[in-house]
Amino acid sequence: MVKPIFSLIFSSLFLINIACAQNSEVEWKPELTDDWTPVTDSVSTTGYFGEPPSDAIILFDGADLSAWESAPGYFPSMDGVPDYLEALQREYDSAPWKVEDGIMTVVPGSGNIKTKQGFGDMHLHIEWRAPAEIVGDGQGRGNSGVFLMGLYEIQVLDSWQNPTYSNGQAGAIYKQKAPMVNASRPPGEWQSYDIFFEAPYFDDDGKLIKAAYVTVLHNGVLIHHRQKLQGPTVYIGLSHYEQHSRKLPIGLQDHGDYVSFRNIWVREI
Amino acid sequence: MVKPIFSLIFSSLFLINIACAQNSEVEWKPELTDDWTPVTDSVSTTGYFGEPPSDAIILFDGADLSAWESAPGYFPSMDGVPDYLEALQREYDSAPWKVEDGIMTVVPGSGNIKTKQGFGDMHLHIEWRAPAEIVGDGQGRGNSGVFLMGLYEIQVLDSWQNPTYSNGQAGAIYKQKAPMVNASRPPGEWQSYDIFFEAPYFDDDGKLIKAAYVTVLHNGVLIHHRQKLQGPTVYIGLSHYEQHSRKLPIGLQDHGDYVSFRNIWVREI
Amino acid sequence: MVKPIFSLIFSSLFLINIACAQNSEVEWKPELTDDWTPVTDSVSTTGYFGEPPSDAIILFDGADLSAWESAPGYFPSMDGVPDYLEALQREYDSAPWKVEDGIMTVVPGSGNIKTKQGFGDMHLHIEWRAPAEIVGDGQGRGNSGVFLMGLYEIQVLDSWQNPTYSNGQAGAIYKQKAPMVNASRPPGEWQSYDIFFEAPYFDDDGKLIKAAYVTVLHNGVLIHHRQKLQGPTVYIGLSHYEQHSRKLPIGLQDHGDYVSFRNIWVREI
Amino acid sequence: MVKPIFSLIFSSLFLINIACAQNSEVEWKPELTDDWTPVTDSVSTTGYFGEPPSDAIILFDGADLSAWESAPGYFPSMDGVPDYLEALQREYDSAPWKVEDGIMTVVPGSGNIKTKQGFGDMHLHIEWRAPAEIVGDGQGRGNSGVFLMGLYEIQVLDSWQNPTYSNGQAGAIYKQKAPMVNASRPPGEWQSYDIFFEAPYFDDDGKLIKAAYVTVLHNGVLIHHRQKLQGPTVYIGLSHYEQHSRKLPIGLQDHGDYVSFRNIWVREI
């Protein structure tokens, strides 16, 4: 007796085979991992701008970008990004962003930057500001990102009255987890992230012993409490861990917007 | 009457549709959550067929299906299944599977069955057998499933020398996690699952307090060690928890194949 | 009326006594759970004094103690305390501590205080100051405590160049876990705790479903990262969970020293 | 030569002694970590005696003790044991226990034995039998122990109608955690342990990255579900982790009783 289920399964397998053959009907789209609901509640806050503790490593105190360098095509999450970011392949002799009046600002088109030093378990304090004048919307407004170990992104975005998918807004573990609340301040105002990060741990055979975990305060408000990461940030599809070293540079993303940063320091924990 | 769990699922699917409405080409396909690599190593084993402990609840001892009932359209994982399984909507006065010589066997087309009693935290022991004569391949060969709480599937499949996606083979937490090893025995031989399950816990507001966890022995071989579940099994897309009660019936799936079962018991833990 | 939590504690202590009754020399001493090593490294910091977010509940803004009340004999950790604290049994019509110049200060001998409102999952921000003039040493110097849910103590102590057992210093989960570092500021200076607390969860039968977890920043420095608690704070012996409700008052301890507090607020999380 | 693990333990005990030196009456007694309540419920079971899977390493199949060797003074938990066990310091050329009729039996006074090979993450299957004739009571009746990595003890004891402290009965993670139920069979009958163990992981600086976890089936009944271990088993006081390698020998304890073993195998997981 021929059952309909068999033909279904057969055709499914067939679809998989042609998917492997690059058939466009079965392929991941970036939108598939966007969560639009629930919409995150907003909390108003004046921020949280502490001085670095005595054992902190200063990554930017307003003077220069000497702790940073150019990071062409650095971030894995760019795989599959079709346009702007893929083009950022130039390498510069030094970090190509602008420093003025004690703040650093993305130079769109110059590419990402990363720290010269590698970090694993850390408290990263970083302050950032989206342009006061609103240009664009959704992901196209005040977009940048903090890449822990160059792999795990905490999203930077002007999320003040700016709807986008919840796991893509400011403070999101990009494409993995929306923040508990939206603690964004208006564009043009300084905001802070305090990121408490536990690096993943692999044994010598590459087996994952312990996943990465992150706690984040956005302007002093808890938005993640030791959240487990699924793996490195990916723009398309699902994430899986791949073995890497215990310390890797922190990256900041050029996403084409004039996002500024100041007071960046790390305490190794 | 529409059950609460269905209305929740319906509304969340509805929201996904809204989110994707801008681009009709952006939709989930079942194949997107199939993991074909790595291929799981095989382990040969003679099985593990213990007697029920003194405080076990016997669900099937070979006599009859009095602990079971018909479960038309019961399992959420069917959402998105286009043909055979959706059609299994008939309700029967009693569980419509066959009992002969102390074993019960799926009657293809009669639909799923579920226990009359609900269970949460449990040790579930169940023995099963795929037909000795091989018919079909991949997901079309000896397919059934154990649905913990009617929501969380441990896959039943004839995975003896039968390639399929790793997180869809025998013992997989279906579409979520491949077993550590393939401990399958040949078709026609009895196999056992010992499933140690911790039910998820929600507070009165529906907030997830604790996820579901499962440990599974397949023929006495460890294939999951207190693995965290992402949520209920879904055929298409990613899974999320929805509030449900602490105890729900166990389901067995009619997937169109003549899979048999015997010696089914539960110890509440 | 005897509260349930007290009767539980009483009966379990009783059983321990029975168990040990064969040999009167076998009994717990408070010192047995003091960890003196390793000595915690010190970190210097200027503190972290953010404004409350818009959805915070203000517990003390400098005006009065209207959110607080007298808590005679309130904290379970006093079981076994031989002298001063046991005597604090008087009940007052209102919280008996002093408010002056926008700060509240312990009135030694008046007893503990607790919030009128109960809290469970929370971010608690609290600022405190040990007396500028050093009196006493070890546990006898600037001692107080923040009791989450009246049960789980984060130690308050003047730990500036003041050796004591590591799991009894400022920021310790008292008798359970030393802080990662000693982030104490000198006596007479204000210090802050930002405490992110997840309450334990029990099912209706009293079974522990999820333990309590706490993350603490001391003057902005991470000293606990989602640390699991063994149970309520006890002065003598080992701790075990006993069922209690999801929200309970926050307590502050009168330990006989003139410790001051200001800017106390809670965000429910 | 003193092994590193011993010197670490020695120095930490030394520090505790210093800490307590002020009051010579303040010292740990073994009884302080005995939990007598609640008394564990009993479950009757016929056992669970599976064949080893194809990739198992056979440690004892009834023929001889060639996989084992003498382990004089091997187990750290003996620190503080005042009489019998301390005396077991002799070293033998081969494992000094008796093999007869396919079973091995403790020769009291000959000391512990351990595997020649080291193991970390593992499924250990072991069958054991207490003497049919009851001699002694409590901890003095059919006492032995399975030491995972030579450090983490799953208690072996004749716990059939034999009251003792709950975290010292058969199946207990000795002095740390009582089994969920008492699944003991009568003395003289064979019993099985299936132990699923995840070894702890330390980084190169000795920092604990991941604790040890264990799941145990006693005669097929779940008695621990991925229980976190506090550290190596200690007879007196509280346990703390000390860095050790990823694989270490399994030990079996000579506690003076004629306990027998058979069918011992390991699957590395």
ipTM of this model?
0.88
User: Of the ranges A80-89, C94-103, C169-178, D112-121, which one carries the lowest mean pLDDT score?
Assistant: A80-89
Contact by Cβ (8 Å): B229, B213: yes
Distance from CA of A200 to the nearest CA of B (A): 18
Q: Which chains neighbour A (Cβ–Cβ under 8 Å, 3 or more pairs)?
A: B, C, D
pLDDT per residue over D173-195, tens digit each?
999 999 999 999 999 999 999 99
Pick left, alpha or beta for residue A103 (phi over 0 → left; psi -120 to 50 → alpha; otherwise beta): beta
Q: List, as ranges, residues 149-168 from A with C-beta within 8 Å of C.
A: none
Rounded distance between C-alpha atoms, residue C55 and residue C83, angstroms: 41
Contact D203 A203 (CB under 8 A): no
D109 touches chain B (CB under 8 A): no
The pLDDT value recorded for residue D2 is 31
Q: What is the pLDDT of residue C76?
A: 61
The dihedral sign for the CA sequence D42, D47, D53, D57 = positive
Dihedral sign for Cα C263, C264, C268, C269, please: positive
pTM of the model: 0.89
Chain D residues touching residue A246 (CB < 8 angstroms): 203
Q: Where are the alpha helices (DSSP H) in chain B?
A: 4-20
The answer to whether D210 faces chain B, any CB pair under 8 Å, is no
Mean pLDDT of B60-68: 97
A198/C225 touch (CB, cutoff 8 Å), yes or no: yes
Q: Is the pLDDT of residue B17 over 90?
A: no
Q: Which of A9, A31, A207 to mutate to test the interface with B (most CBs of B within 10 A)?
A: A9
**D186: contact with B, CB 8 A cutoff:** no
In terms of CA atoms, which chain C residue is nearest residue B121?
C209
Is D180 in contact with B269 (Cβ distance < 8 A)?
A: yes
Three-state secondary structure call for residue C151: coil
Q: What is the pLDDT of residue D20?
A: 34
- Burial A68-82, CB ≥16 within 10 A → b, else e: bbbbeebbbbbeebe
Token representation of residue D20: 């307590």
Give B-chain residues touching C203 at CB under 8 angstroms. 201, 246
Q: Does D209 reach chain C within 8 Å, measured CB to CB? A: no
From first to last of its 269 residues, chain A has per-residue pLDDT tens of 333 333 333 333 333 333 333 344 678 888 888 888 888 888 877 667 778 999 999 999 999 999 999 998 766 655 566 556 666 777 888 889 999 999 999 999 899 999 999 999 999 999 999 999 999 999 999 999 999 999 999 999 999 999 999 999 999 999 999 999 999 999 999 999 999 999 999 999 999 999 999 999 999 999 999 999 999 998 888 999 999 999 999 999 999 999 999 999 999 99
Mean pLDDT score, C108-131? 96
| Distance between CA atoms of residues B141 and B155, nearest Å | 12
B190 touching D (Cβ < 8 Å)? no
Residues of B in contact with D267 (CB under 8 A): 43, 221-222
Residue C44: per-residue pLDDT: 79
Q: What is the pLDDT of residues D192-226, one digit of tens each?
A: 999 999 999 999 999 999 999 999 999 999 999 99
SS (H, E, C) C89-118: CCCCCCCCCEEECCEEECCCCCCEEEEEEE
- List of chain D residues whose C-beta atoms are within 8 Å of the C-beta of residue C25: 29
* Contact status of D237 with chain C (Cβ, < 8 Å): yes
pLDDT tens per residue across span C39-94: 888 887 766 777 899 999 999 999 999 999 999 876 765 566 655 666 677 788 88
Give the pLDDT of residue D22. 40
C-alpha A154/C-alpha A148 separation (Å) is: 8
Instruction: State the alpha helices, DSSP H only, in C191-236.
Output: none
**Cβ–Cβ of A47/C44 closer than 8 Å?**
no
Nearest CA in chain C to B200: C209
Q: How much of chain C, in percent, has pLDDT values that exceed 90?
A: 69
Confidence of residue B13 (pLDDT cuts 50, 70, 90): very low
- H or E segment to which residue C123 belongs: strand C122-129
Q: Which residue on chain D is closest to C27 by alpha carbon?
A: D32
Q: What is the pLDDT of residue B49?
A: 74
CB contact under 8 A, B46 and D48: no
Nearest CB neighbour to C26, from listed D16, D23, D29:
D29
- Say if C201 is an interface residue toward chain B (CB within 8 Å): yes
The one-letter code for the residue type at B21 is A
What's B146's DSSP letter? E
What secondary structure letter does DSSP report for C174? T
Residue type present at position C118: G
H or E segment at A197? strand A191-198
Distance of alpha carbon C247 from alpha carbon C197, whole angstroms: 12
CB D55 within 8 A of CB B43: yes
The beta-carbon neighbor of B50 closest among D44, D48, D269 is: D48
Element (H, E) at D76: none
pLDDT for C210-261, tens place per residue? 999 999 999 999 999 999 999 999 888 899 999 999 999 999 999 999 999 9
Residues of chain B in contact with residue A37, where contact means CB-CB under 8 angstroms, are 12, 15, 19
Distance (Å) from the C-alpha of residue B101 to the closest C-alpha of chain D? 24
d(CA A60, CA C177): 34
Q: Does A19 touch chain B (CB under 8 A)?
A: yes
- Work out the burial of residue C25: count CB atoms within 10 Å of its CB; fewer than 13 is exposed, 13-18 middle, 19 or more buried: exposed
- Region B140-159: mean pLDDT is 96
CB contact under 8 A, C267 and A198: no
Q: Distance between CA atoms of D108 and D257, rounded to whole angstroms?
A: 6
Higher pLDDT, D61 or D4: D61
* Contact partners, residue C2, CB within 8 Å, separation at least 6: none
Q: Round to whole Å and give the CA distance between D263 and D269.
A: 19
Helix (H) or strand (E) holding C220: none
Looking at per-residue pLDDT, the higher value among D69 and B9 belongs to D69
D24 has a pLDDT exceeding 80: no
pLDDT given at position D79: 59
Burial of A191 (0-12, 13-18, 19+ CB in 10 A): buried
Q: Kindly determine whether residue C54 and residue A48, on different chains, have CB atoms separated by under 8 Å.
A: no
Q: What is the pLDDT of residue C2?
A: 32
| CB-CB contact of B243 with B149 (8 Å) | no
Q: Using a CB-CB distance cutoff of 8 angstroms, which residues of chain D are in contact with residue A203?
A: 201, 246
Q: Which residues of D touch C29 (CB under 8 A)?
A: 23, 25-26
Q: Please compute the mean of the pLDDT values over residues B111-129 and round it to a whole number.
A: 96
Q: How far is CA C171 from CA C35, C104, C221, D117, in A?
A: 14, 20, 11, 44
Phi and psi dihedrals of B152, rounded to 5?
-115, 110
What count of other Cβ atoms lies within 10 Å of the Cβ of residue A202? 18
Note whether B218 and B193 are within 8 A (CB). Answer: yes
d(CA D239, CA D251): 19
Distance (Å, whole) CA A234 – CA A174: 8
| Mean pLDDT of the region C154-169 | 96
Mean pLDDT of B10-17: 31
Tell me how far apart the alpha carbons of residues A94 and A111 are, in angstroms, rounded to a whole number: 11
